[in-house]
Amino acid sequence: MKKLILILAAIMSASYALADAPISGNVQSRCVVTTDTPGVYGNPNAYTLTTTPSDGGVLPIVRFDVTLADAYYAQITYPTEFSSSPSLSDTVTWTGSTEVSAVSDATNMGSYETDKTTFGETSQYDLTATGSTWFKTSSSAVMGGNKAFPGGSYTATVEAKCIAQ
């Protein structure tokens, strides 16, 4: 019994070395988002700013270039506030939408628009094919109470993200 206790004591007090062996790696995204056309607000009346071309606006267009099919979603959100503007005296009401503007592969990307999911201000597209897809986003801001927007520079941002599935 005495020997067993001594052996257990020797085992419990034995020291040993541990080492962590790190493993690292880099993943390159196979989805790139680029602004092709910056948007411009037209001002068809005193209380409206809009990207509608017939009202003097320019629709912003973003391009998604995908080199790995069925791995990404495109999420595009139209603006709901100005990132910069003069001081505003009332609430601004925002509307907008996003749709496919062009595709590099009509056969494999032809259903992107009909298969999109919309939640709130965001449109989501399942990027099921490799190639390029251009999305255009409309945006309108209307000053509450039909009050005039004060003179100055206005900026709002469309958020376009490539989300790994």
Tally of domains within the chain: 1
Residue pLDDT, tens place only, 63-72: 999 999 999 9
Q: What is the pLDDT along the chain (165 residues), one digit of tens a residue?
A: 555 555 555 555 556 778 899 999 998 889 999 999 999 999 999 999 999 999 999 999 999 999 999 999 999 999 999 999 999 989 999 999 999 999 999 999 999 999 999 999 999 999 999 999 999 999 999 999 889 999 999 999 999 999 999
Whether residue 9 is contained in a domain is answered as: no
- CATH number of the domain residue 82 falls in: 2.60.40
Whether residue 88 is contained in a domain is answered as: yes
Residue 126 belongs to domain spanning: 30-164
DSSP string, 87-110: --SS-EEEEEEEEEEEES-HHHHT
Whether residue 14 is contained in a domain is answered as: no
Whether residue 15 is contained in a domain is answered as: no
Give the separation between CA 118 and CA 109, rounded to whole angstroms. Answer: 18
Whether residue 117 is contained in a domain is answered as: yes
